[in-house]
Amino acid sequence: MTQLWQLSASELAALIRNREVSAKEAAQAALQRLDAVNPVINAVVEHRPEFVLRQADEVDRAIARGEAVGPLAGVPVTVKINIDQKDFATTNGARASAHAIARSSSPLVDNLVKADAVLLGRTNSPTFALRWFTSNLVHGKTFNPRNRALTPGGSSGGGAAAVTAGIGQLAVGTDIGGSIRYPAYACGVHGLRPSFGRVPAYNASWPERTIGAQLMSVAGPMGRTIADLRLGLAALSAPDSRDPWYVAMPLEGRTAPRRAALCLRPDGWRIAPEVEAALREAARRMIDAGWTVEEIDDTPPMRAAAEVQEALWLGDGFEALADAVANDGDRGAAAVIAASRARVARLPADALKNALVKRTTLMRQWRVFFDQYSVLLLPVSAELPFPDDLDLQGSEGFERVWESQLTMRALPTIGLPALTVTTDLVGNVPVGVQIVATHFREDLCLQAGADIEARGVPPAPIDPVAVGSTQY
């Protein structure tokens, strides 16, 4: 018998709207699942059962009164610890913020509430969201539910792990360098990085973000089905005047030809055979669904975009970040700062200005590229998901990780929507592909993703592997 926590968000929302199950029953099932499996993976680091049930009761009362309810009515959703949620600490995995209680919610959390979602809990992230691995000194380490030897990804590793293990139907994460797309890849679920400006963002608990973070960081959903990502995006993207970068654009654009480009090795990037095989299989699935897929030798500049991302991220406020990391004492964050110092030292005095100018040139090149193709099929990472804490294995380990994440680092510069679609398991190691489209055409990413998904994906949700099981 299928349990409520096993259902997709779309299925559960329909049952609740039709009064076939109550939101309270769904919330109770979600809490029971959390209690059963979260101790094994440490994905959710704070939750309040009475608050969860109170939200569910409000949804049930609204339905009983015959009121119209939102698209996520009664659906349990988790939120990352670097996003303001009223009355909860926005810890960002840092000891200095462990008790920094938000007095108001981020616009995207308010949008979830407006959509009548049930906020289930807060999910783990590395300190200052700095790594593609998830641990910190406040909340500890999160484990990959499919394989404890693997990273769950980062920085939204807690959310991806939660969704994979059936803790909530959707998880909300953030992405400035792959922090939605990579955890989804590592855990074997789907994750959508929306276009810059699509989902309103603002944390009143923080000072104004640096310009790089303002232009490149976005929030988006991770889930077990493409239909659930579509539902989550619709809820998250409601307007809010607190974000001056927000752009009100329709979620569905004009009809576009089913024409895709496949690029295996942008800028000569080296990828693992298993990654190439997954991409070619995804292309075959798209062709089977009626797409034309053209293999191309290269894309518009990828490494140049990654260099701009570095300059925008590191060129403004690096020393303040380095001081905060030193005060926190987290080994993983310190490794990122140590490895980045040489990159910062090479930046010229006018690096930020030059990066902003180059960003415009790159955006133009990519927009022209998407005049030819509706979507682009790319690797998520050059490798299968990393062994956990690979970035702590000296400079060689860190550089291996850095190089493997080229597309994770480059695409935020351009502000394009990008979707990770999980496609298969290599043994017990997930693999997937990345679909990119032009600005504000998440619908094209999701259309292609649904066609790939329809032809097979790894099972989810799953029971997490037991403590002590570490295979790679």
HEC profile of the chain: CCCHHHCCHHHHHHHHHCCCCCHHHHHHHHHHHHHHHHHHHCCEEECCHHHHHHHHHHHHHHHHCCCCCCCCCCCEEEEECCCCCCCCECCCCCHHHCCCECCCCCHHHHHHHHCCCEEEEEECCCHHHCCCCCEECCCEECCCCCCCCECCCCCCHHHHHHHHCCCCCEEEEEECCCCCHHHHHHHCCEEEECCCCCCCCCCCCCCCCCHHHHHHCEEEEEECCHHHHHHHHHHHCCCCCCCCCCCCCCCCCCCCCCEEEECCCHHHCCCCHHHHHHHHHHHHHHHHCCCEEEECCCCCCCHHHHHHHHHHHHCCCHHHHHHHHHHHCCHHHHHHHHHHHHHHHHCCCCHHHHHHHHHHHHHHHHHHHCCCCCEEEECCCCCCCCECCHHHCHHHHHHHHHHHCHHHHHHHHHCCCEEEEEEEEECCEEEEEEEECCCCCHHHHHHHHHHHHCCCCCCCCCCCCCCCCCCC
**What's the start-to-end Cα distance of the chain, in Å?**
32
| Residue showing tokens 């040489």 | 342
Catalytic residue among 22, 97, 179, 340: 179
Q: 171, 470 in Cβ contact below 8 A?
A: no
Note if 114 is an active site residue.
Answer: no
Measure CA 379 to chain center.
16
Contacts (Cβ under 8 Å, ≥6 apart) of 460: 163, 164, 166, 188, 189, 224
Find the Cα–Cα–Cα–Cα dihedral 38, 44, 49, 54, rounded to 10°: -140
Q: 102, 86 in Cβ contact below 8 A?
A: yes
Catalytic residue among 8, 10, 105, 155: 155
Note if 80 is an active site residue.
Answer: yes
Catalytic residue among 24, 80, 141, 358: 80
| Residue showing tokens 């539910």 | 145
Note if 155 is an active site residue.
Answer: yes
The encoded tokens of residue 168 equal 């909530």
Supply the residues annotated as catalytic.
80, 155, 179
